[in-house]
């Protein structure tokens, strides 16, 4: 069960690769992306020409760096502190292999922790990755003092944006409407225990990203995901307005209030456009 920040995941897999064989099973719990930058570009460039080939999920990193074949992931509303405090919860083990799902269920399931299975590994990985973007936005709304109507609007429109981004990266819509998708999204958009929610909240309170990052002991994966997905959407010619505005708040000089004003003026007429 490797649970390493996405920025260090590939290096860790390289280090443990000599000890891993095809008969091993790995189920990771990292909700982030690995990016190989195009030649001549740096992570700070604002117009990265990112295609799907530049972006890897953690299961794809495992397959590239080790001899392991049977790979899976954990995803769902799994706020670590609540699980440690033995609150009822559930997760999803996703893998193309039934044996990996069964092993994950055997090891993790107990009277307070339910474990579901799903065969769409890429889709389930992407749900956990992309909801971090929306969680930052939810924290920002909370930091501005807005209530449940605003949160419901963000969660529903955020899910639409997640589905469009996820399908562009190879996931299926069904992955986003289950526990790992809408379940995780609701949990992380409603809890101050979420690192990504906390980033958004503090941004709305007037802090800058460098100030927030310097004082956080834990990694907020959503910050890097915003950077990646903004460039991916921009280069491939489709709109991701929540992601685009969050990028400007995080890395440029747009305020949270200005981002909200822009998003509320988008002339959308169709509620569900992904089925």
What are the residue numbers of the active site?
A: 131
Phi and psi, residue 130, nearest 5°? -75, -30
Best CA proximity match to 151, nearest among 133, 139, 163: 139
CA distance linking residue 71 with residue 26, whole number of Å: 5
The answer to whether 240 touches 233, Cβ cutoff 8 Å, is yes
CA distance linking residue 25 with residue 97, whole number of Å: 10
Phi and psi, residue 143, nearest 5°? -65, -25
CA distance linking residue 246 with residue 239, whole number of Å: 13
What does each C-alpha distance from 178 to 108, 116, 189, 247, 256 come to in angstroms? 19, 10, 16, 27, 30
CA atoms within 13 A on the CB side of 251: 19
Residue with tokens 């958009």: 189
Which residues, at least 6 apart from 250, have a Cβ–Cβ distance to it below 8 Å? Answer: 136, 203, 209, 223, 226, 227
First to last CA, the chain: 34
């Amino acid at each position: 069960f490797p649970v390493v920040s996405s920025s260090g995941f590939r290096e860790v897999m390289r280090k443990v690769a000599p000890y891993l064989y095809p008969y091993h099973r790995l189920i990771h719990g990292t909700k982030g992306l690995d990016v190989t930058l195009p030649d001549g570009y740096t992570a700070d460039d604002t117009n990265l020409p990112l295609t799907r080939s530049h972006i890897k999920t953690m299961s794809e990193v495992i397959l590239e760096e080790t001899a392991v074949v049977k790979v899976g992931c954990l995803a769902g509303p799994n706020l670590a502190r609540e699980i440690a405090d033995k609150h009822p919860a559930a997760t999803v083990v996703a893998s193309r292999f039934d044996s990996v799902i069964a092993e994950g269920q055997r090891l993790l399931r107990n009277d307070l922790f339910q474990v579901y299975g799903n065969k769409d590994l890429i889709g389930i990985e992407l749900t956990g990755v992309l909801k971090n973007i929306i969680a930052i936005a939810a924290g920002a709304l909370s930091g501005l003092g807005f209530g449940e109507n605003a949160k419901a609007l963000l969660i529903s429109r955020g899910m639409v944006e997640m589905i469009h981004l996820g399908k562009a990266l190879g996931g299926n819509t069904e992955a986003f409407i289950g526990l790992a998708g809408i379940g995780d999204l609701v949990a992380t958009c409603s809890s101050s225990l979420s690192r990504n929610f906390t980033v958004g909240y503090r941004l709305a309170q007037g802090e800058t990203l460098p100030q927030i990052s310097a004082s956080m002991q834990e990694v907020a994966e959503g910050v890097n995901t915003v950077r990646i997905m903004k460039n991916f959407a921009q280069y491939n010619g489709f709109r991701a307005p929540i992601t685009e505005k969050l990028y400007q708040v995080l890395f440029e000089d747009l305020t949270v209030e200005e981002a909200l004003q822009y998003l509320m003026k988008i002339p959308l007429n169709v509620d569900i456009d992904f089925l």
